[in-house]
Amino acid sequence: MTDVGAAPGVERTAQPGALETLFHSDQGGHEEVLLCQDRTTGLKAVIALHSTALGPALGGTRFHAYAGEARPEEAALRDALNLARGMSYKNALAGLPHGGGKAVIIGDPDQIKTEELLLAYGRFVDGLGGRYVTACDVGTYVGDMDVVARTCRWTTGRSPEAGGAGDSSVLTAFGVYQGMRAGAAHRWGSPELTGRTVGVAGVGKVGHLLAGLLVEAGARVLVTDVRPGAVAQVLAAHPQVTAVPTTEALITAEGLDIYAPCALGGVLSDTTVPLLTADIVCGAANNQLSRPGVAKDLAERGILYAPDYVVNSGGVIQVADELHGFDFARAKAKAAKIYETALEIFGHAAAEGVPPAVAADRIAERRMAQAANAERAYA
C-alpha cells in the first residue's frame, strides 16, 4: 500500500499505463472498475473497487481536473486505482466491515459541478447495488453528498439535516492525536504529550483541530501553512501556538519531537527526510511517502513513522458509522482504538525488523486474505 502514487496535479514520469497497473502490477488486482459518462451533464467519472473481501467497498468521491497532466483521463483512472487500493488497507486496519473503493469525477468542480451532474453520478453509484459506498473527498463536500443521496442510497458524509454525520474532520484529527500518543508510548515509554514540541504543517480543518487537541494536552505547538489566513485562525483560537514561516523551517526546528504533515501528499521525500529533526512523524495527510523506499530511509534515521492510512482513519470510521444511524460517542470510541492499532503496528515492526509502513501493510493484507478465504470456504 505504500506505493500509492503522486498527489493530483503532480506530473508523473515513468508511470505504467492504468490497464498495465490494473492487470499486471502489484499495485493492481482490483475487482471492478467502472467508467461513467453522462453527456447531458458533462459527467466523466471513474469508480474503482479494489476489494470487497471485508464488505462493501467504502471510499470518497474526488472531484479534480488533473489539469497538469498530459492525459487527464488516464491520470484520473490511475489515481482512482491507487486511492481505492489505499482504502482497502485503511478500512482493514480500522477494523471496519468494508473493503476499499474510490471514485474520481474528472473536471474542475468550480466550473462544471452542478446538481444535475451530481445526481447523474449518484445513479451510477446506485447501479452498483451497494458494492460501493461513497462519501466526500477532495473537491466534494457535505452538501454535495446530500445531492448524491437523492439518487443513491449508498451515500455517507451527509449533513445532519439529511440524516448524516456531517463534517468528519473532528474524528480525523482525534485519530491522528491517538496515533501520536501511541508513537510517544512506543518511543518514550509514555503516551503523554505534555512538554513535547509538535510541528503541524497545514492547518486546514483537520490541522486546526489537531493543534487544539495538542494545546489541550500541554504540548508546545508550531504551525505553518501556505495560507496566512489559516495560520491566523489558529493563532486567534490558541495564542500560545507559534507560527513558523515555511515547512522547511518547521521540519528543521531545533527540539522538534513530532512532525505532523497535514496538507499535501508526497512530503516525505529524498529531500525532506535528511532534514527532519523530529523523532516521530504522524500526520493526517494522505500518501505522505513520495516513494516506498522512503519508509526505510526514515527507519534508518531512527525516525518512527506512523503510517498515514492508519492514523487518519477517523474520518472513514465516522462515515461508516453513519450507515448504522450515526452516534458520535460510538464512532469516537472506535476512533480511539487507533491508539491500540498503531501500537500493534509499531510492535510488529520492531519484532520483524521492518519499517512500520511494511508491518501495517502485512497486517492489512493478512486480514483481507483471511476474509477472502473464509468467503471462498463458505461458498
pLDDT digits (tens, 9 = 90+) for 140-166: 999 999 999 999 999 999 999 998 988
Cell, residue 54? 471485508
Active site amino acids: 102
Between CA 3 and CA 27 the distance in angstroms is: 7
Between CA 48 and CA 132 the distance in angstroms is: 9
**377 CB neighbour count, 10 Å cutoff:** 7
Cell, residue 99? 473493503
Give one word for 139, left, alpha or beta, with left for phi > 0 and alpha for psi -120 to 50. left
Is the pLDDT confidence value at 5 over 70? Answer: no
What is the per-residue pLDDT across 228-246, written as a single tens digit (0 to 9) for each?
A: 999 999 999 999 999 999 9
| Percent of the chain whose predicted confidence (pLDDT) is above 90 | 83
Is the pLDDT confidence value at 67 over 60? Answer: yes
For residue 27, the model assigns a pLDDT of 67
Give the pLDDT band (50/70/90) at residue 8: very low
Give the pLDDT band (50/70/90) at residue 355: very high
Is the pLDDT confidence value at 6 over 70? Answer: no
For residue 264, the model assigns a pLDDT of 79
What is the per-residue pLDDT across 47-61, written as a single tens digit (0 to 9) for each?
A: 999 999 999 999 999
Is the pLDDT confidence value at 3 over 50? Answer: no
What is the per-residue pLDDT across 176-211, written as a single tens digit (0 to 9) for each?
A: 999 999 999 999 999 999 999 999 999 999 999 999
Residue 139 · residue 45 · CB < 8 Å: no
Mean model confidence pLDDT for the chain: 92
Q: What is the mean pLDDT of residues 272-295?
A: 95
The strand pairing partners of 259, in sequence order, are 199, 281
Is the pLDDT confidence value at 2 over 90? Answer: no
pTM of the predicted model as reported, rounded to 2 decimal places: 0.86
What is the per-residue pLDDT across 292-323, written as a single tens digit (0 to 9) for each?
A: 899 999 999 999 999 999 999 999 999 999 99
Cell, residue 201? 504543517
